């Protein structure tokens, strides 16, 4: 059969496939048994089932699809008989994993990704490495899923109700999304965040890029000291920056209100935007400086030799080449402002309440799943935003004839 | 060029906003500070919504910062930029703010509405007017809720404060607030100290040790909470069998969320919550704040608030006006902490004692927690 790698011997059932499949099934059995209070009995039963699966797989190597679907079905039915819809779905997943692992081991597919000369130990390490990477991704991403799941809770608590676990319709509800999208309590902070973050980003990107370009010139005196000062908002503990900013911006705001007659709300926005711009500047400086390292200065000299003034040279020659750094700096600056809760609590007043502020107070005072709905919406928005930026970047690289990185 | 234009435009915008603001002698923007959640929603529905409807052009912004009101008001005062107009605080915080000169002194008879029958505000609020700056609003209590489905079989539901300390009859975790106030009083009550002697005993070194020793007996079964929302969440999860919190939170969990939770009113501790107006506001803002408070603490408004949350109105004249829950349509009176059935055995929080002993006992309690 084509599945078997020709230059490896077929896996041996008794010394290889069967023990490993049994071990995997025993782990599932341990987890399942733990839920009813008998983890070791569960592991034992799991091992027996795993051995049986390995035996079935070994004798049906050519009927891969049919056997795998059969296993999924059998485990799902078993789960449903012993429990409910929730355990049936868990059963189907266990069946799918066991079936896949059985064939993966029995057909020698586990060697598919490694060169033929690898020893058993190297192959083991290769697959262990893949497993570790998988776990890293899992632990980074997995905490988001309960948040998303719970945001559809029909109750006002962070609790998986029996109805939710049994996938019954009455356990689920969109009411927290209604609360999020339909009330001023959440929409006003969202609007404030969407006013503050983009303006602060524009300011940090303009100032940060200018500073990075200037500081990358070797003739600037004291550039290390200047760099250190500009980066400091990133290093100084936020609570200290926030306290300092509070006392710095309060008289500034009073002056703006008293002398220029600006409204309190408007001045409040100015204060928060400036404070957030300061927090965003270090990110822009770092990313733009990093791209400037790879920038060939003879290009600006070439432009100058052809009579281009410095400003057009900057925008037409230098800017397009350092654009990736500027964009990633802008993304960081935006996220810094959009996520920021400490400084806005100090500098802002209630008219500038941002989304993180609302989430913070909501979490402390009411623990309502509306926060989870808000978090879910934000996660989806961030994914869409990053995907769009990445797609645009690839498109522009394609258009400019550069191969995608 | 473009930049100058934008700058001019934004300045003009700011200026026009400022000119809208100044209408005569009262400012039209008001920032109210409260606790968020169902409580703030009830204030919004009973006080600020009708006030805005009556006073066209007034805008109200809510800030959920009452938990750190004292610290923030101090900082605002130091920075010379007070952004709050009316602040909801517990009585103890109001006393502190008043002592530090951060809150405006109020003459109840002059600046608060009389009762409909003509009784002066001072008589109507009675004993609840603690301090010179505090404008009482509600009476709330800290009391216990328990999971009705986790009561052991063959045992009556807990109805005595000492059931909290009885791990044999009522096994399971308890949720208690992460501070000594209320906990040490309850501990002494259940360690054989008579109610009237509690604060005398607590003022001695041995008495404090005795209270902590009693708490030590259940220490391994306690989850310590710090926000009012924690206990309802823990009860809903079934993580604790019983826990203390504000009675309004329990009411919301039981009646509005249909959770299997029962109320245990024994030895509930009454406390007060109300408004203060920060000192040092501009005359226009102060006038607006006083106008709002006059309206928001009149007899009808305080009674209206009880339609949304089960906290007792602070005016005697409001009690007969308490009606039914706005959406559930159930009678609110039996859910009030002041209802005779619930108030059979209550415990009165002693402000003076805690003002004097708070720092000391707090330190001992935290050290005990860390052991």
If you average pLDDT over residues A171-188, what whole number do you get? 89
Say whether both A225 and A95 belong to one domain.
Answer: no
Say whether both A145 and A204 belong to one domain.
Answer: no
Q: Mutate which of A154, A264, A355 to test chain B, going by most B C-beta atoms within 10 A?
A: A264
How far is residue B203's CA from residue B207's CA, in Å, rounded to a whole number? 7
Say whether both A214 and A128 belong to one domain.
Answer: no
Say whether both A216 and A328 belong to one domain.
Answer: yes
3-state secondary structure labels for all residues of chain A: CCCCCCCCCCCCHHHHHHHHHHHHHHHHHHHHHHHCCCHHHHHHHHHHHHHHHHHHHHHCCCCHHHHHHHHHHHHHHHHHHHCCHHHHHHHHHHHHHHHHHHHHHHCCHHHCCCCCCCCHHHHHHHHHHHHHHHHHHHHHHCCHHHHHHHCCECCCCCCCCHHHHCCCHHHECCHHHHHHHHCHHHHHHHHHHHHHHHHHHHHHHHHHHHHHHHHCCCCCCCHHHHHHHHHHHHHCCHHHHHHHHHHHHHHHHHHHHHHHCCCHHHHHHHHHHHHHHHHHHHHHHHHHHHHHHCCCCHHHHHHHHCCCCHHHHHHHHHHHHHHHHHHHHHHHHHHHHHHCCHHHHHHCCHHHCCHHHHHHHHHHHCCCCHHHHHHHHHHHHHHHHHHHHHHHHHHHHHHCCCCCC
How far is residue B368's CA from residue B204's CA, in Å, rounded to a whole number? 17
| Contact (Cβ atoms closer than 8 angstroms) between residue B214 and residue B191 | yes
Whole-number pLDDT of residue B130: 85
Predicted TM-score of the model (pTM) = 0.77
Say whether both A233 and A99 belong to one domain.
Answer: no
Shortest distance, CA B210 to any CA of chain A (angstroms): 32
Residue A8 pLDDT grade (very low, low, confident, very high; cuts 50, 70, 90): low
Whole-number pLDDT of residue B193: 92
In chain A, residues 152-171 whose CB comes closer than 8 Å to chain B: 155-159
If you average pLDDT over residues A54-61, what whole number do you get? 87
Closest in A350, A361, A367 to B61, CB measured: A350
A133 assigned to some structural domain: yes
Q: Verify whether the Cβ–Cβ distance B63 to A349 is below 8 Å.
A: yes
State whether residue B224 sits within 8 Å of chain A by CB: no
Whole-number pLDDT of residue B219: 92
Say whether both A144 and A218 belong to one domain.
Answer: no
pLDDT at A355 over 80: yes
A260 assigned to some structural domain: yes
Shortest distance, CA B83 to any CA of chain A (angstroms): 6
B223: β partners: B175
Q: Which domains does chain B have, with CATH numbers?
A: 20-133+277-333 (3.40.190.10), 155-269+340-370 (3.40.190.10)
What's the total number of domains in chain A?
Answer: 2
Say whether both A203 and A260 belong to one domain.
Answer: yes
Shortest distance, CA B195 to any CA of chain A (angstroms): 32
A246 assigned to some structural domain: yes
Pick the range with the lowest mean pLDDT from A252-266, A267-281, B289-303: A252-266
pLDDT at A217 over 90: no
**Assigned token pair, B187:** 């501990």
B328 vs A209, residue with greater confidence: A209
Say whether both A217 and A338 belong to one domain.
Answer: yes
A8 assigned to some structural domain: no
- pLDDT tens by residue, A87-121: 888 889 999 999 999 888 888 888 888 888 888 88
Whole-number pLDDT of residue B24: 58
A123 assigned to some structural domain: yes
Whole-number pLDDT of residue A212: 94
Whole-number pLDDT of residue A10: 62
Say whether both A202 and A349 belong to one domain.
Answer: yes
How far is residue A378's CA from residue A189's CA, in Å, rounded to a whole number? 13
A322 assigned to some structural domain: yes
Residue stretches of chain B with pLDDT short of 70: 1-24
Pairing of strands B135-147, B242-246: antiparallel
Mean pLDDT of chain A: 87
State whether residue A404 sits within 8 Å of chain B by CB: no
If you average pLDDT over residues A136-142, what whole number do you get? 93
Whether complex ipTM tops 0.85: no
A264 assigned to some structural domain: yes
Whole-number pLDDT of residue A402: 60
pLDDT at A209 over 80: yes
**Nearest C-alpha in B relative to A354:** B63
pLDDT at A6 over 70: no
Say whether both A135 and A274 belong to one domain.
Answer: no
A231 vs A155, residue with greater confidence: A231
pLDDT at A191 over 90: yes
Say whether both A46 and A142 belong to one domain.
Answer: yes
- Provide CB contacts within 8 A for B221, sequence distance 6+: B167, B172, B173, B174
Which domain CATH number covers A215? 1.10.3720.10
Shortest distance, CA B295 to any CA of chain A (angstroms): 22
Domain holding A277, by residue range, is 185-368
Say whether both A135 and A284 belong to one domain.
Answer: no
A262 vs B291, residue with greater confidence: B291
Whole-number pLDDT of residue A84: 79
A382 assigned to some structural domain: no
Whole-number pLDDT of residue B220: 92
């Amino acid at each position: 059969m084509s599945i078997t790698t020709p230059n490896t011997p077929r896996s041996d059932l008794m010394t290889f496939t069967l023990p490993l499949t049994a071990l995997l099934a025993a782990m599932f059995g341990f987890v399942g048994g733990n839920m009813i209070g008998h983890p070791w009995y569960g592991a034992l039963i799991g091992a027996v089932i795993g051995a049986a699966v390995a035996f079935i797989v070994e004798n049906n190597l050519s009927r891969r699809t049919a056997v795998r679907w059969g296993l999924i079905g059998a485990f799902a039915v078993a789960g449903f008989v012993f429990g409910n819809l929730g355990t049936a779905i868990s059963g189907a997943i266990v069946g799918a994993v066991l079936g896949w692992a059985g064939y993966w081991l029995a057909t020698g597919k586990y060697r598919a990704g490694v060169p033929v000369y690898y020893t058993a130990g190297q192959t083991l390490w290769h697959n262990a490495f893949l497993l570790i990477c998988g776990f890293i991704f899992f632990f980074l991403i997995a905490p988001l899923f309960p948040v998303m799941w719970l945001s559809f809770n029909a109750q006002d608590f962070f609790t998986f109700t029996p109805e939710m676990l049994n996938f019954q319709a009455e356990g689920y509800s969109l009411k927290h999304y209604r609360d999020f999208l339909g009330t001023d309590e959440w929409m006003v902070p969202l609007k404030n965040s969407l006013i503050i973050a983009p303006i602060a980003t524009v300011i940090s990107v303009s100032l940060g890029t200018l500073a990075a370009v200037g500081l990358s010139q070797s003739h600037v005196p004291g550039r290390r000291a200047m760099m250190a000062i500009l980066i400091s908002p990133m290093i100084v503990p936020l609570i200290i920056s926030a306290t300092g900013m509070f006392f710095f911006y309060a008289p500034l705001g009073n002056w703006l209100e008293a002398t220029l007659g600006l409204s309190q709300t408007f001045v409040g926005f100015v204060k928060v935007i400036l404070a957030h711009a300061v927090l965003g500047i270090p990110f822009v400086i770092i990313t733009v400086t990093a791209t400037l390292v790879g920038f060939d200065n003879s290009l600006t000299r070439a432009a100058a030799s052809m009579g281009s003034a410095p400003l057009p040279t900057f925008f037409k020659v230098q800017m397009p080449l350092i654009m990736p750094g500027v964009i990633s700096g802008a993304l960081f600056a935006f996220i810094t402002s959009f996520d920021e809760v400490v400084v806005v609590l100090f500098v802002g007043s209630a008219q500038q309440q941002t989304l993180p502020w609302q989430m913070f107070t909501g979490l402390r005072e009411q623990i309502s799943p509306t926060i989870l709905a808000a978090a879910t919406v934000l996660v989806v928005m961030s994914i869409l935003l990053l995907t769009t930026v990445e797609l645009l970047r690839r498109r522009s690289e394609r258009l400019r004839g550069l191969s995608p990185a | 060029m473009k930049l100058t234009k934008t700058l001019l435009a934004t300045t003009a915008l700011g200026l026009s906003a400022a000119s809208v603001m100044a209408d005569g002698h009262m400012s039209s923007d008001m920032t109210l500070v409260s606790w968020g959640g169902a409580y703030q929603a009830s204030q919004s529905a009973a006080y600020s919504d009708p006030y805005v409807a009556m006073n066209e052009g007034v805008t109200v912004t809510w800030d959920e910062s009452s938990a750190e009101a004292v610290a923030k008001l101090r900082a605002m005062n130091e920075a010379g930029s007070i952004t709050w107009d009316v602040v909801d605080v517990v009585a103890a915080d109001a006393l502190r703010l008043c002592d530090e000169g951060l809150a405006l002194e109020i003459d109840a008879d002059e600046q608060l509405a009389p009762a409909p029958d003509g009784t002066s505000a001072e008589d109507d609020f009675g004993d609840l007017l603690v301090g010179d700056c505090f404008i009482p609003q509600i009476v709330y209590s800290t009391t216990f809720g328990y999971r009705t489905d986790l009561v052991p079989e063959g045992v009556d539901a807990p109805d005595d404060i000492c059931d909290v300390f009885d791990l044999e009859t009522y096994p399971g975790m308890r949720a208690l607030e992460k501070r000594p106030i209320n906990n040490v009083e309850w501990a002494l009550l259940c360690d054989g100290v008579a109610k009237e002697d509690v604060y005398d005993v607590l003022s001695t070194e041995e008495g404090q040790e005795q209270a902590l020793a009693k708490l030590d007996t259940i220490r391994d079964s306690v989850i310590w909470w710090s926000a009012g929302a924690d206990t309802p969440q823990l009860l809903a999860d079934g993580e604790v069998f019983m826990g203390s919190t504000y009675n309004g939170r329990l009411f919301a969990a039981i009646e509005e969320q249909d959770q299997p939770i029962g109320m245990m009113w024994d030895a509930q501790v009454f406390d007060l919550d109300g408004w203060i107006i920060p000192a040092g506001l501009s005359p226009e803002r102060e006038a607006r704040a006083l106008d709002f408070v006059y309206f928001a603490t009149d007899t009808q408004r305080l009674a209206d608030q009880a339609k949304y949350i089960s906290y007792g109105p602070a005016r005697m004249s409001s009690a007969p006006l308490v009606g039914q829950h706005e959406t559930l349509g159930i009678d609110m009176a039996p859910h009030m902490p002041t209802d005779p059935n619930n108030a059979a055995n209550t415990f009165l929080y002693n402000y003076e004692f805690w003002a004097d002993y708070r720092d000391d006992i707090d330190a001992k309690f935290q050290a005990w927690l860390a052991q």
